Structure 1
């Protein structure tokens, strides 16, 4: 399950005039200093005193907060817009989580490969937000091209997709070809979830997120790109494996023809060697003698060529794995003996391990 969000107070950069008036009407604090400290996040005592000093001579830390006039409240709101505060944390948000997103995509689409990414908390207009993304390739009942799935606070957005920031980013700002993904022919699933204390919906229906919030648009693009980078690595490995299989298949296809041609040449050389028209020495003479004695036959050559193809394919695979950072260390059998040999135990054996249960 997603983490339970923590209750938080308003960030001073996120409030407007009406909200400040409501907080003043509902607060239990008596003076302005206490009000600023306890009704907003990231405002400590020293910062509150400095803010009150910047408000002007008509403000004081001990003044009754409920006695503030409309003009004074407007001045507080203006100062909140001008001042710089620490960014709020994302503890008050409850994103789905990269693990849940990954499982959900696999369950619904059954893709050939999938990558997910969950970004850190960012801020726009004093409101924290988190962007999570997932990109899949292939799958069941998935159309060719981009299939975009949008979520706001874990709720799916079903309408007005064309104007949404996710759609515009996926269509216009992502160079899919650079990640070895064909935008028109591959079956691509793009999942983006935006979680925030304030979703900047557009329109009366609140069915899409506007493309005019630079912070969110940048975060959406970055999240999709992170997924594409992961997929590119998987696609490259898959392409490499396919090329190796094709190369091995091509080499194996010519083994019979190569065997016949090689054996005919060796047979002719052995006949020349036997008639003393042309003498060979050393290793060559030994091989020709085996040909004459039928110790080396076509089947022998065919087996040796097949073994050589397997060896070359394995060596190239290991070279690729080494270049990709995948290494396989030599393994040794480890036998752990009980500290007390007098103990009785029940032994469970398998091809992989031996488990002894001490009684």
Structure 2
């Protein structure tokens, strides 16, 4: 930390650079610790030594292996824990050839420095985020019963494994937060697509009803007018198009 940064932090705490550390009270130490944790003026960690997969390659890999209807991925900005830089990449694949989990447990593909993690999933930070921290209801997605696959990749100069066997990643708050925020972002994209799909399906059913009964209503109206008014088929299509918010008829015609 440079002198200028140290001065800014001390100014926030109303402390003098000349104060002795030994004279700081417990409250001062707590405030100093919190300020250092929340200070956003530090330079981002150097990620040039890391090897993230990248959003494009991650997308292509998921498409090839899972063949989903829709997928969303995000490569997060470099962060650091205990001085070690890391990057979190997440992805969610939905539908297509993906089937619901057979046992009602969300299926997570975990990777660390591009190496798949196959064991002790329940102890992994990704499992904790997916099963305990994520509010899936907010996005109208349920990974326990929906055709969903979750992908989490962590690359770092020092992966915080909890065992010598390197089977799962520890739940460091910084990594936990990045996985959570990444999943929230990709879930918003998936949720937006699914909401539009549901709305289009509802609209299609509604227009089917109109297409069924409009000709009958028009016929009765023409008879009531004594044949003086004729409604063209083009006028009916124009009316249905104006009633369609999602241009369902144009999509069907194409």
- Report matched runs for 1:63-142 at 5 Å: 88-142=45-99
> What is the total number of aligned residue pairs between the two structures?
207
Say which one has the larger Rg. 1
Equivalent in the alignment of 1:307: 237
TM-superposed CA distance for 1:312, in Å, is 1.7
Higher RCO (Cα < 8 Å, 6 or more apart): 2
Q: What CA distance in whole angstroms lies between the structure 2 residues aligned with 1:92 and 1:312?
A: 56
Report if the CA contact (8 A) 2:109-2:116 is conserved: yes
User: Is the alpha carbon distance of 1:245 and 1:238 closer, same or farther for their aligned partners in structure 2, counting shifts above 3 Å?
Assistant: same
TM-superposed CA distance for 1:304, in Å, is 5.2
Query: Aligned pair 1:245/2:188, yes or no?
Result: no
Report if the CA contact (8 A) 2:67-2:98 is conserved: no
2:179 paired residue among 220, 229, 247: 220
1:220-248 deviations in whole A, cap 9, x for unaligned?
11111111112122222222322332222
TM-superposed CA distance for 1:189, in Å, is 0.9
Equivalent in the alignment of 1:171: 131
Relative to the length of structure 2, the TM-score reads 0.73
Gaps of 5+ in 1: 1-41, 44-84, 271-287, 319-359
Q: Give 3-state SS (helix, strand or coil) of 2:89's partner.
A: strand
Q: Give 3-state SS (helix, strand or coil) of 1:184's partner.
A: coil
CA RMSD of aligned residues (A): 2.6
TM-superposed CA distance for 1:305, in Å, is 5.8
Q: What CA distance in whole angstroms lies between the structure 1 residues aligned with 2:156 and 2:86?
A: 4
1:197 paired residue among 157, 166, 180: 157
Q: Give 3-state SS (helix, strand or coil) of 2:100's partner.
A: coil
Gaps of 5+ in 2: 3-41, 248-254
Equivalent in the alignment of 1:157: 117
Relative to the length of structure 1, the TM-score reads 0.53
